[in-house]
Structure 1
Amino acid sequence: MNKLQWDVLVLDLDGTLLCSQGAVSDQNLHALDVVRDHGVEVVVATGRCFAESKHILETINHTGVCISAGGSQLTDHHGNVIARDGVDVSIVSEVTKKVVECGHRSLLLKDASTCDAQYVLVGDAALHEASTWWFDSHEISIVEVNTFEEDPWPEHTMRVGAVASESCLIPIANELKISLEGRAKMQHWSAVTCSEAIGSSTHLLEVFGSQVNKWTMLKRHLGDVIDNVRIAAIGDGLNDVEVLQEAGLSIVMENANEHVQQHADVLAGHHDEHGFAEAMRRWIIPVESKR
């Protein structure tokens, strides 16, 4: 029986549950187990696609739903798609042509349930070393093409973006911010690399459908059955902001930037110091379960 104040815990991965090396500590895993043992539904909500999250879901024994790609897709723990929100083909084309024109690869995340690869890479520029490491370490399947018109699945893009240094992506981001206003959602932030999960000089430029975010997909999953005040959320990134704004309790990690911390009801410890476990003990797990 759920003795807690919360019916749902929305859980981010990178920078929250995971340390800088992408691992889940024993302390964090134990705290997560206690929360689930008390009947709380844990909804994983991550910027990763499902294939990039699968090994983590297995590590934490997750059997619930997963909101992936920043809110673009809702799947069960096996990866079966329940709901999805893709990017309009015209937006994908526009962003891809700008990225390629500026000398970078355009990375098109696909709906793997309908496509034969997780990503289509557009352009002939060298792939950034962070992308190479990411695809290799997560065994991600890719298809490489020279132009957008060669994309085998143009109508099944969940996210379009690029990986490069911050200085290279800022001019592209500034231009796209103006041209895409009201038509798509754009994020520009530190990438997860082989050495750092946050704060790296390698950056991501990501473009989604205009209504895509973790909260919107969460409400599609929950409907009106659970009141917002019964939802707790914990995260650290820009793609967590909508969830943090709407949840009954918003817990933000110490390692989050100032903009994200502005949306915190309470501030947790650092993700490299078992901050998730500390947060569960302080604000989620009832006193009697600690004894």
Structure 2
Amino acid sequence: MKLFATDLDGTLLNSKHEISKENINALKIAQENGVEIVIATGRTYADAKAICRQANICAHIISNNGSLAHSKNGEKLKVDTIDKKYVTETLGWFNDNRYFYEVSTAKNIFLPSNTKEILENDFYKAKTKNLSLSKYTVDEIVSLLFSQEGVILVDDINDIVNADLDYCSISAISFDEDKLSKGRELFGNHESLSLVVSHELNFELVNTNASKGNSLEHLANHLNIPLKDVAAIGDNYNDVSMFKRAGISIAMGNAKEDIKKICSYVSSSNDLHGVAHAIYKFMNNLKVESSTA
């Protein structure tokens, strides 16, 4: 293993959205042994960079579900943005059909100023169909949205579509399964956008050339590392493109069963330092006990 790619949410981050000291130690030991580390996430580059900085990790970063790839030195290696006309078209449809949405660039995340109100209304409508829905989910999602680096609140959709921006991804969130299915079906057949799912309550839209797998392959070529020497670990459907490229594919213990079935190895969960366990398993002459020594 010469390059190790890890997802963030549900993988490197535990359920408290933190990187455990066990995972940090494992990443650093891997780097000391010559393994290149790449963070591959649906989050923005600025947000991923801030998380790495806080954990004192220096890594290559694939962000916005593969729309951008940066070297560990901050060099921009790959860019696949969304044409402005598709942003206008998509946000118009979201607005007409009352979807919550966020628009991301490399540095910023644009959220409606009434984010909490939109999500609460969506939740209560969905709860009439699914009584098992828990209110804490709304508060947790709102808290997570606002904790991201570079959040900008907008009152009007035109504040986004009239701006001159490099649009990397558009995300929709809903608690209503029928609403999610409707959006996923419509945009899943779009000619110029690719749809990815990173959470059971969302779907995200990116340039058709953008995927974690494409950017991982691009980065591996840049580093002159054969794909057979690449390991990728993740927990959700937006990680599948990495699993198809990497010589070693690793599912987290908390991943869905159909994700586990397509991977060559299943690690422990994100609350049990699954990234650390995977690193030690696939590195020569190192054992899991190293992380707790």
Report the TM-score, using the length of structure 1 for normalisation: 0.81
For 2:211, which of 188, 213, 225 is the aligned residue? 213
Match of 1:268 in 2: 267
Residue number in structure 2 paired with 1:153: 163
Structure 2 CA distance for aligned equivalents of residues 9 and 227 of structure 1: 12
Residues 280 and 288 in structure 2, CA contact (< 8 A), matched pair in contact too? no
Cα 1:259–1:217 change in 2 (3 A) is same
Partner of 1:193: none
Asked if the contact 2:180–2:203 (Cα under 8 Å) also holds between the matched residues in 1, the reply is yes
Counterpart of 1:253 in structure 2 is: 252
Which shifted more, 261-270 or 142-151?
A: 142-151
What is the Cα deviation at residue 63 of structure 1?
2.1
For residue 94 of structure 2, the aligned residue among 81, 91, 99 is: 99
Kindly tell me: are residues 83 and 189 of structure 1, through their superposed partners in 2, closer, same or farther at Cα, counting changes over 3 Å? closer
Summarize the alignment of residues 1-291 of structure 1 with structure 2, pairs less than 5 Å apart. 6-77=1-72, 81-112=76-107, 118-121=108-111, 126-128=117-119, 132-148=142-158, 151-153=161-163, 156-167=166-177, 168-178=179-189, 180=190, 182-190=191-199, 203-223=201-221, 225-287=224-286
Provide the secondary structure at the position in 2 that maps to 1:217. Answer: helix
Aligned residue type for 2:167: T
Q: Deviation per CA, 1:137-180, whole angstroms, max 9, x where unpaired?
A: 235331414234862435521011222214232222222223x1
Tell me how far apart the structure 1 counterparts of residues 284 and 163 of structure 2 sit (CA, whole Å): 45
Count residues in correspondence. 268
SS in 1 for 2:218: helix
Give the equivalent residue in structure 2 for 1:115.
none
Letter in 2 for 1:268: S
Shift of residue 250, structure 1, vs aligned partner? 0.9
- Name the CA distance, whole Å, in 1 between partners of 2:263 and 2:9: 18
CA contact (8 A) 2:46 2:106 kept: no
Q: Kindly indicate whether the alpha-carbon contact (under 8 Å) linking 2:87 and 2:161 is maintained by their aligned counterparts in 1.
A: no
Q: TM-score normalised to the size of structure 2?
A: 0.81
Flag the 1:44–1:245 CA change in 2: closer, same or farther, 3 A.
same
SS of 2:53's partner is helix
Q: Distance in 1 between matches of 2:99 and 2:27?
A: 40
Per the alignment, residue 127 of structure 2 pairs with: none
Instruction: Deviation per CA, 1:88-146: give whole Å up to 9, x if none.
Output: 2232222212211111343211233xxxxx13346977443556423432353314142
After superposition, what is the alpha-carbon deviation per residue over 1:26-65, rounded to whole angstroms, capped at 9, x for unaligned?
2222211211110111111111112222332013322232
- Alpha-carbon separation, structure 2, partners of 1:12 and 1:242: 12
The 1:226/1:177 distance shift into structure 2, 3 A limit, reads same
Q: Secondary structure of the equivalent of 1:260?
A: helix
CA RMSD between the two structures: 2.6
Provide the rounded CA distance (Å) in 2 between the counterparts of 1:119 and 1:281. Answer: 35
Output the amino acid matched with 1:13.
L
Alpha carbons of structure 1 residues 72 and 150: separation in structure 2 relative to 1, 3 Å: closer
